[in-house]
Structure 1
Amino acid sequence: MALRHAVLAALLEGDGSGSGGEYSGYQLAKAFDIGVANFWHALPQQLYAELTKLEKEGLVAGRQVVQETRPNKRLFRVTEAGLAELEAFAATPSKPSFIRDDLLVKVQAADCVDTGPLIEQLEERASVAEAKIELFGKLLRKMRGELDEAEFLRRGERIGPYLTCLRGLALEQENKEWGLRVAAVLRERRAVHAER
């Protein structure tokens, strides 16, 4: 997967309908941070550069919006060519994902390093995960509105963002549980070794 596909997918949410609304670069960066960041990380500068490339390739169209009290802005939407690009991407087989996490490397070496700082990092990871769990819960409730989850998944207009948000929620719940469990194990082992 390339950043281009993540940007195109995020732009589909521009008006909330998934029918190809518009986003400014700033709005895209905010949407990326909340939703797409579950599966793809990019800095705002990378997003702006990608929008420029996509516009040159005809996969997005941009238009200038003149504002009287603020600087002018450009709004972008996915073109038919951009939708075709996403269609081709969706049909391409996906590779299995893998974990690449420096915290796991540190835990792997836990028997040979001071675990005090590691315990702090694990607890911090769990704390960050807790905040994301709360955010995902709010997003999921907002997306489904008055419907319960089962009804929304059966009849909702746009379930793609909801389903990816569910994956982000599950990941953060696992991060929290694992971080707290490993921190507790390492803390208990430190206490046992201190008694010797």
Structure 2
Amino acid sequence: MALRNAILAALLDGESSGYDLAKEFDASVANFWMATPQQLYRELDRMTAEGLIETRVVQQERRPNKRLHSLTEVGHAALHEFVASESKPTAIRDELMVRVQSMQTVDAPAVRVAVEEKREWAVAKLARYERLRSRLLAGRTEQAYLEEAERVGPYLTLMRGISFEQENIRWSEFALAVIDRRISAQV
């Protein structure tokens, strides 16, 4: 999937600045697509040139002018084409898994630190996703939200992110217990 498709999907909620898109990517889209602000801004420029989005400049007095982006008909059509296209299986590339796969007894303490960092990161992301879920639900039950919301895709992807981080925590705790036993056996 190209970054442009994730941007097109984010713009379904309406006009947005690059800064706000970057914040949204960090808060919600990051559970399935990562992009740096620099990548995002470069892609916004390309998408404007290709007619997928239109950009208008809002004059601001005490700050730099703000560029607001919105979908064009061509952008909507491109997004619909992407949604209807065949999906490819996801390939996982995780540097930590290479470290774990390669771990020898002498490496166990260093790998343990890396796994603990992954667990801490997952705990923090899970908390952020749970706060976002509470905001989306806005006091409604999940069932009520799913029946009433105009778009349920953001909620479904958020739930996938929650499940992913819960599994990262579960696996990290399992791996830490195994590594701790290996380290204790060597002492």
TM-score range, shorter chain: over 0.9
Match status 1:9 vs 2:26 = no
Q: Secondary structure at the match of 1:62?
A: strand
Shift of 1:98: 2.4
| Distance change in 2, residues 1:6/1:113 (3 Å) | farther
Deviation at 1:155, TM superposition (A): 2.2
Deviation at 1:113, TM superposition (A): 4.2
Is there any run of 5+ residues in structure 2 with no aligned partner, and where? none
TM-score, normalised relative to structure 1:
0.91
Amino acid at match of 2:8: L
Contact 1:144 1:156 in 2 (8 A): no
AA matched with 1:62: T
- Aligned match for 2:130, one of 116, 119, 137: 137
Gap runs ≥5 in structure 1: 13-17
Structure 1 or 2: larger helix share? 2
Aligned partner of 2:171 among 144, 160, 178: 178
Counterpart of 2:41? 48
Q: More displaced, 32-41 or 55-64?
A: 32-41
CA drift at 1:70: 1.5
Instruction: Return 141-150 or 105-114, whichever deviates more.
Output: 105-114
Work out the number of aligned pairs and report it: 187
Deviation at 1:112, TM superposition (A): 5.2
Secondary structure of 1:76 counterpart? strand
Please tell me whether the aligned partners of residues 25 and 75 of structure 1 are also in contact (alpha carbons under 8 angstroms). Answer: yes
* 2:59 aligned to which of 27, 51, 66: 66
Matches within 5 A, 1:160-179: 160-179=153-172
* Residue identity (%): 48
SS, match of residue 68 in structure 2: strand
Distance across 1 between alignment mates of 2:43 and 2:92: 25
> TM-score, with normalisation over the residues of structure 2?
0.96
| Code of the aligned partner of 2:61 | E
- Greater relative contact order, per chain length (Cα 8 Å cut-off, separation 6+): 2
Structure 2 distance, partners of 1:189, 1:112, is 7
CA distance in 2 between counterparts of 1:113 and 1:39 reads 34
Separation in 2 of the partners of 1:119 and 1:42?
Answer: 28
Q: How far apart are residue 10 of structure 1 and its match?
A: 1.3
Q: 2:23 matched to 1:30? A: yes
SS in 2 for 1:115: helix
What is the rounded CA distance, in whole Å, between the counterparts of 2:91 and 2:55 in structure 1? Answer: 35
Kept after mapping to 2: 8 A contact 1:123/1:183: yes
- Once residues 105 and 184 of structure 2 are traced to their aligned partners in structure 1, the CA distance between those partners, rounded to angstroms, is 16
Question: Larger deviation: 48-57 or 31-40?
Answer: 31-40
Contact conserved, 1:23 with 1:75, CA < 8 A, in 2? yes
Structure 1 residues 87-115: Cα deviation after superposition (integer angstroms, max 9, x where no partner): 00000010111221111111112235420
Distance 1:113 1:45 in 2: 39
Match of 2:143 among 141, 147, 150: 150
- The Cα RMSD (Å) is 1.2
